[in-house]
């Protein structure tokens, strides 16, 4: 069965390559006889996730690009990021119904081992990296309800971002130029949920100010899963001159309450899905945090090219009580990135350097209050990178990149004990891509690499209980190839990509006791093969549809679990959204279908497949006045009240793998616009 699946993917890849060869003469002819107006339009859209001037129409790599429209922004509450990404190929975001842990996210199966937050994937919010130097990503900073644009690099991207770049998710909250001056949205819903959003968008000839402030509160679907969050951001773009821009961003997220109900056995998840683990309730398991981020960037155009200097910083204060103790963390992180894009050469050249640092004060105590870990953890990442784009004839383009990273980890312990503290890693990551442009589309092939170091959390959790960092845990390294075709006409766009990846020196999680810490070791490798496809169709302004089909096989290739499926990775996913707009009304029906997948490395347990439907309605009252409009909306999630597990805790002890998803839930609200 597995070999047949792999063989089918190989055959599909060969067919796509054969199609490329057959179509090249036709596409070259089309370029000669027809003006490519669509390409001019696409050239204006730059791939921010690649941090360079690569355009969507020319990028020789797999990517997804999604701009949210008015009905989408008004009627989709988007409490968690999975509501925005279910029709994007490559990325699988699971709602854990647990704000203390955040969403679970993988890209092409990378990041599967994460017990909380996100691993193996680079995430940016308005040019501010949410991924710190050691590779950890905390998604709570991003409020999905105010995200306007999403970019996704679906393959290994360490050439662009270095450590923990098995893919890149770029989120922008910056409103479109014609967005309302003020926008207020409020809704209430099931599980005593309340959400308030206020957004600002103001501009003059030389200045643009934009931002938001949001409040969210819920009792949660499960017992002991209540949460309360405040999030705010303010940005300013100051146009110093026609050739120089200075930009500032500041963002805050506070979560004074986020209870953690814990994962359940399969029987408990089926029979009493709202139940919380008793020891999680008794220990008040959950998380509280405050996080402040800021960035400043200066862009200046010279006769020879464009200079970009960006500085960013993060402060995070976390308290995390758990059944086995309390983890407290005080983090200071940030970095400086500078690059130069040469514009007077016969080819594109982009070169630069980056410095990232991370300083964590970690304190871990037992339930009785005894200090188990008290140390300062410092991570430093230094990098040099370049990328070159070389046009060949009129239709072909070669792009090549190289990045060198040096990571150092140091632990300074305040307890009187022997300490093994220092670790250092070196990485050289090349990439090369070839693209062929034709009228309204592109065929591409790409080779890319990535590396992922253990995070400080993974290094500090040592089975022998000593402090410092694990001296036997090394980075994962990924090699990937992909080829695909994408394009669009006035009403139709498509994306079809085949890929294969190998991940070496796999970092594998394991537990030694029920409700105990998770430890990590290197063991073997994995192979990932897949086919990603997406279609968007809008025959008129009254109707539009998005469809995504994702096939993925990820298997252990060596070691104890050789031949087993990688847990937490679904082989099949389908996502679709149909929107109909009769008059001022808009109705949307969404469907997400996730196939069966394993939940532990031994493949002795699985998560059952599920298919969910969601319904949304909104009404645009635009004729009230020249300066005011409003949109009431209603949404129903899990329309048919399907019992399912929305996420899993991979390799959890005692068979407690399952995190139940919510039953049918409702939201009703209104959006007010001051134009």
Whole-number pLDDT of residue 515: 62
207 vs 185: CA distance, rounded Å: 26
337 vs 133: CA distance, rounded Å: 13
DSSP 520: E
DSSP 420: -
How does pLDDT run across 22-31, given as a tens digit for each residue?
A: 343 333 333 3
- Between the alpha carbon of residue 66 and those of residues 72, 198, 427, 592, the distances in Å are 11, 23, 32, 17
Say if residues 116 and 139 touch (Cβ distance below 8 Å).
no
Say if residues 169 and 128 touch (Cβ distance below 8 Å).
no
DSSP 137: B
Low-confidence ranges of the chain (pLDDT < 50): 1, 4-43, 416
Q: Tokens for 294?
A: 């800021």
Whole-number pLDDT of residue 461: 66
432 vs 446: CA distance, rounded Å: 6
Other beta carbons within 10 angstroms of residue 673's beta carbon come to 23
563 vs 567: CA distance, rounded Å: 12
Q: Tokens for 389?
A: 């784009």
**Which residue's structure tokens are 């209603």?**
634
Helix (H, G, I), strand (E, B) or coil at 254: strand
387 vs 52: CA distance, rounded Å: 9
Whole-number pLDDT of residue 52: 67
How does pLDDT run across 304-354, given as a tens digit for each residue?
A: 999 999 999 999 999 999 888 899 999 999 999 999 999 888 888 999 999
DSSP 113: T
**Helix, strand, coil percent content, the chain, rounded in steps of 5:** 10, 55, 35
Residue environment code for 13-41, b if the CB has 16+ CB neighbours within 10 A, otherwise e: beebeeebeebeeebeeebeeeebebbee
Read off the CATH number of the domain in which 633 is found. 2.40.170.20
454 vs 476: CA distance, rounded Å: 8
Helix (H, G, I), strand (E, B) or coil at 161: helix
**CA 162, 232, 147, 240 torsion: positive or negative?**
negative
Total tally of structural domains belonging to the chain: 1
Whole-number pLDDT of residue 20: 40
Strand partners, 453: none
Say if residues 590 and 576 touch (Cβ distance below 8 Å).
yes
For the chain, give me the number of helices (H) and strands (E)?
Answer: 8, 35
- Between the alpha carbon of residue 327 and those of residues 138, 601, 607, the distances in Å are 16, 27, 30
Helix (H, G, I), strand (E, B) or coil at 437: strand
Instruction: Please count the residues of the chain.
Output: 675
Q: Where are the alpha helices (DSSP H) in 208-364?
A: 266-271, 278-282
Say if residues 95 and 80 touch (Cβ distance below 8 Å).
yes
Whole-number pLDDT of residue 38: 26
- The predicted model scores a pTM of 0.89
Q: Which domain range does residue 197 map to? A: 2-674
92 vs 80: CA distance, rounded Å: 13
Whole-number pLDDT of residue 535: 95
């Amino acid at each position: 069965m597995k070999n047949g699946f792999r063989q089918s993917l190989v055959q599909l890849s060969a067919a796509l390559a054969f199609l490329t060869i057959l179509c090249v003469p036709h596409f070259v002819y089309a370029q000669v006889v027809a003006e490519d107006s669509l390409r001019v339009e696409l050239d204006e859209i730059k791939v921010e996730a690649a941090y360079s001037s690569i355009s969507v129409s020319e990028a020789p790599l797999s990517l997804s690009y999604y701009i949210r429209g008015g009905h989408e922004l008004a009627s989709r509450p988007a409490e968690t990021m999975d509501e925005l990404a279910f029709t994007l190929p490559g990325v699988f975001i699971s709602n854990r119904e647990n704000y203390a842990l955040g969403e679970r996210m993988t890209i092409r199966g990378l990041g599967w081992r994460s017990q909380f937050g996100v691993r193996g994937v680079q995430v940016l919010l308005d040019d501010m990296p949410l991924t710190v130097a050691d590779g950890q990503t905390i998604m709570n900073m991003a409020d999905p309800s105010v995200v306007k644009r999403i970019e996704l690099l679906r393959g290994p991207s360490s050439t662009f971002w270095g450590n923990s770049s098995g893919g890149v998710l770029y989120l922008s909250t910056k409103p479109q130029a014609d967005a309302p001056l003020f926008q207020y949205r409020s809704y209430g819903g099931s599980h005593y949920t309340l959400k308030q959003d206020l957004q600002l968008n103001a501009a003059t000839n030389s200045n643009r100010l934009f931002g938001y402030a949001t409040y969210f509160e819920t009792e949660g679907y499960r017992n002991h899963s209540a949460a309360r969050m405040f999030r705010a951001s303010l940005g300013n773009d100051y146009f110093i001159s026609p050739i120089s821009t200075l930009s500032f961003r500041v963002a805050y997220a506070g979560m004074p309450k986020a209870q953690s109900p814990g994962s359940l056995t399969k029987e408990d998840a089926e029979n009493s899905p709202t139940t919380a683990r008793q020891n999680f309730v008794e220990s008040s398991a959950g998380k509280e945090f405050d996080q402040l981020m800021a960035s400043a960037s200066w862009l200046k155009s010279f006769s020879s090219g464009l200079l970009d200097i960006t500085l960013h910083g993060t402060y995070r204060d976390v308290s995390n009580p758990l059944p086995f103790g309390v983890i407290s963390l005080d983090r200071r992180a940030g970095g400086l990135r500078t690059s130069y894009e040469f514009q007077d050469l016969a080819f594109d050249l982009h070169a630069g350097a980056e410095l990232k640092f991370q300083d964590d004060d970690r304190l871990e105590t037992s339930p009785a209050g005894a200090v188990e870990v008290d140390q300062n953890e410092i991570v430093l990442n230094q990098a040099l990178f370049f990328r070159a784009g070389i046009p060949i004839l009129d239709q072909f383009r070669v792009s090549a990149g190289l990045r060198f990273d040096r990571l150092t980890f140091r632990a300074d312990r305040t307890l009187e004990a022997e300490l093994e503290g220092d670790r250092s890693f070196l990485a050289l990551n090349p990439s090369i891509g070839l693209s062929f442009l034709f009228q309204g589309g592109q065929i591409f092939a790409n080779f890319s690499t990535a590396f992922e170091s253990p995070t400080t959390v993974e290094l500090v959790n040592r089975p022998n209980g000593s402090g410092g960092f694990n001296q036997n845990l090394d980075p994962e390294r990924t090699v990937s190839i992909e080829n695909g075709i994408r394009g669009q006409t006035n009403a139709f766009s498509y994306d079809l990509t085949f890929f294969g990846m190998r991940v070496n020196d796999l970092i594998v999680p394991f537990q030694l006791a029920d409700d105990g810490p998770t430890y990590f070791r290197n063991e073997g490798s994995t192979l990932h093969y897949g086919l990603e496809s997406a279609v968007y169709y809008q025959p008129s302004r009254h109707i539009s549809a998005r469809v995504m089909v994702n096939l993925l096989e990820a298997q252990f290739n060596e070691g104890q679990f050789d031949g087993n499926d990688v847990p937490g990775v679904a082989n099949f996913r389908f996502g679709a959204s149909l929107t109909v707009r009769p008059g001022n009304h808009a109705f949307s029906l969404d469907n997400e279908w996730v196939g069966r997948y394993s939940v532990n490395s031994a493949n002795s347990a699985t998560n059952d497949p599920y298919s969910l439907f969601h319904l949304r309605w909104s009404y645009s009252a635009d004729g009230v006045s020249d300066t005011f409009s409003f949109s009431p909306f209603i949404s129903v999630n899990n329309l048919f009240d399907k019992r399912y597990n929305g996420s899993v805790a991979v390799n959890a002890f005692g068979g407690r793998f399952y995190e139940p998803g919510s039953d049918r839930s409702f939201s009703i609200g209104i959006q007010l616009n001051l134009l």
